[in-house]
Amino acid sequence: MIPVQGFEGAKVAVLGLGRSGLSAARALRAGGAQVLAWDDNPAAQEAAHEEGFEIKELFREGAFDDVASLIVSPGIPHLYPSPNKVVAAALRAGVPVDNDIGLFFRSLSGSNWASYDQPPKVIAVTGSNGKSTTSALIHHVLEEVGRDVQLAGNIGRGVLDIDPPGDGGVVVLELSSYQTELARALTPDIAVFTNLTPDHLDRHAGLGGYFAAKRRLFAEGGPDRAVIGVDEDEGLFLAGQLAEGRGDDRVIRVSAKGKLSGPGWMVFARKGFLSEYRKGKQAGSIDLREIKGLPGVHNHQNACAAYAACRTLGLAPKVIERAFHSFAGLPHRSQRIGEANGVAFVNDSKATNVDSALKALLAFDNIRWICGGLEKDGGLDGLASGLGNVVKAYVIGREAAQFSLGLEGVEAEVCTTMEAAVARAAQEAEPGDTVLLAPAAASFDQYDSFEKRGEDFIAQVKRHIGG
C-alpha cells in the first residue's frame, strides 16, 4: 500500500466505494486521515462500514464544513453531462476535488529515496485504444529483464494498493480519461499517448473535451519523455506542443501507418517491421510478423509505443525483441488460445464494437469468424473493409438471425450458442484458417460481461483441441 501523504489528522471525504474508492479510503487512513465515506449503494456502504469507515451522507447541508478534500471514484461525473450532487456540494463549499491517481502521485516518493542508486520511475499510458496492451507489454518486457516492476491503474492493481517501489523500481500505470481528467497531481517520468478515437463523448462534452482530458497527463507535470502516437491529428498536435524543435528527443513520435522522417526520435511500423530512427539514423528494428502475441497493425502500434518507452529506460533493441516474443497477449484481446491441425484459435471477446472488431478482422487471413451479440447503434457497415478476410461467419446471440442479415456478402450460419459456433467452425476449418471470436457486439444478451463470453469461447475451444 502507498499511504497517502499530506492529510494527517484531517477529514477527507471519499465518494464511491468500489475498488478505487475503498483503496483510496484505506490508503488515506494509513496516512493518518479521518475518512468520511459515501456511496448511493447500500451494499457498498455496508462493506465500507465493516472495514471501520464512517459513513456520512455527503449531500447534506454542511457536510463539507470541516473537510479538507473530496476524493471521487472514476465513474462519477464531476462536470459533464452534469456534476454529481456530492461533487457539486464540495465545489460550492470550496473543497478541492481529487481522485486516487492524484493521491498516488502526491504520495509516491518516500524519505528512503535519497539513498537509492536509481530513484523509481513511473510510466503512465493513456489513449483511446491499445493502452491496456501497451501497458501490459511494457510490464512484461521489464519483468523479462529482471526489473522490479508493478502494473496498476485500469489494469492490474489499484494505484494505491501497490507496494512502495524499491531502488530502480518501475511502476507502469494504465490511465483512462476519467482518471487523467480530475487528478490534481500528474507527474510521470514517461508518458505515453497511443491514439485518439471518439469515446466517452457525453462525459467530456465532445471530442475536444475528451482530448483535453488525455492531454493533461502531458501538460500538468511535464514528463521527462513523451511517447506520442501521431497517426491522428490530435497526436500530431500534442507532439508539436511538447517539442522545442524538430530534433527534441524528449518527444518520441510513434506511427503504425508508415515511415516517419526528420532529425528527432521516432519509432514506426511499416509492412510488419518496427524501425527506430534517431537523428536521422536507424538505431534498431524488429520483425513483428513472427510475434504471435501481437497480431495486426493495431498491435504493431502498441508494440512501437511499448518499445519506445522501454528504450527510454536504456534497454537494448535485441533485449526488447526477445521479450516481445514471449508476450502472450492480454486475455480477451487477440489472445491466442492454441492451434490444432494447422488451425489457430484466437479470443478477441473485447472487440465489443465495430471499430475493434474490424481491427481484429484485418489482423488475420482465412477467418472462421464467430460474431454476434447485443448489436450497438450504427449497424455493421463499418466492417466492410475487413470482410474479405472472412471465409465464413458463425453468428451467436439471441438475435443471431437478425445480426447475420447485416453481414452482406459473407456466408453466415446462425448458431446462436457459443458451443454450436465453435463446434461448427472447428469442424469446417482447414489448415491455415483462424477461428476468431471478435463479436462486434456487446455480450449482455447472453453473458454478464465480455470476459465471461471469452471464457466460454476458451472452454469450448479446449474441448476440441485439448489443453
> What residue numbers does the annotated binding site for ATP cover?
127-133
Residue 159, C-alpha cell as written in the block: 494505484
| Rounded-to-integer distance, Cα 137 and Cα 448, Å | 27
How far from 2 is each of 52, 118, 172, CA to CA, in Å? Answer: 19, 19, 15
| Rounded-to-integer distance, Cα 411 and Cα 232, Å | 34
| Rounded-to-integer distance, Cα 358 and Cα 209, Å | 26
CA 55 to chain centre: 32
| Rounded-to-integer distance, Cα 448 and Cα 320, Å | 37
Grouping H, G, I as helix, E, B as strand and the rest as coil, residue 340 is strand
| Rounded-to-integer distance, Cα 141 and Cα 147, Å | 9
| Rounded-to-integer distance, Cα 246 and Cα 279, Å | 10
Q: Which residues sit opposite 72 in a β-bridge?
A: 15
| Rounded-to-integer distance, Cα 222 and Cα 219, Å | 6
Cβ count near 59 (within 10 Å): 17
Q: What residues form the annotated binding site?
A: 127-133
* Dihedral sign of CA atoms 443, 152, 187, 254 in order: negative
Please write down the HEC assignment for all residues of 106-146: HHCCCHHHHHCCCCCEEEEEECCCCHHHHHHHHHHHHHHCC
Given the DSSP bridges, would you call strands 343-347 and 434-437 parallel, antiparallel or unpaired?
parallel
| Rounded-to-integer distance, Cα 379 and Cα 387, Å | 15
CB 84 within 8 A of CB 77: yes
CB 450 within 8 A of CB 332: yes
Given the DSSP bridges, would you call strands 367-371 and 434-437 parallel, antiparallel or unpaired?
parallel
DSSP codes joined into one string, 149-189: EEEEESSSB-TTTSPPP-TT-EEEEE--HHHHHH-S----S
CB 461 within 8 A of CB 341: no
| Rounded-to-integer distance, Cα 216 and Cα 220, Å | 5
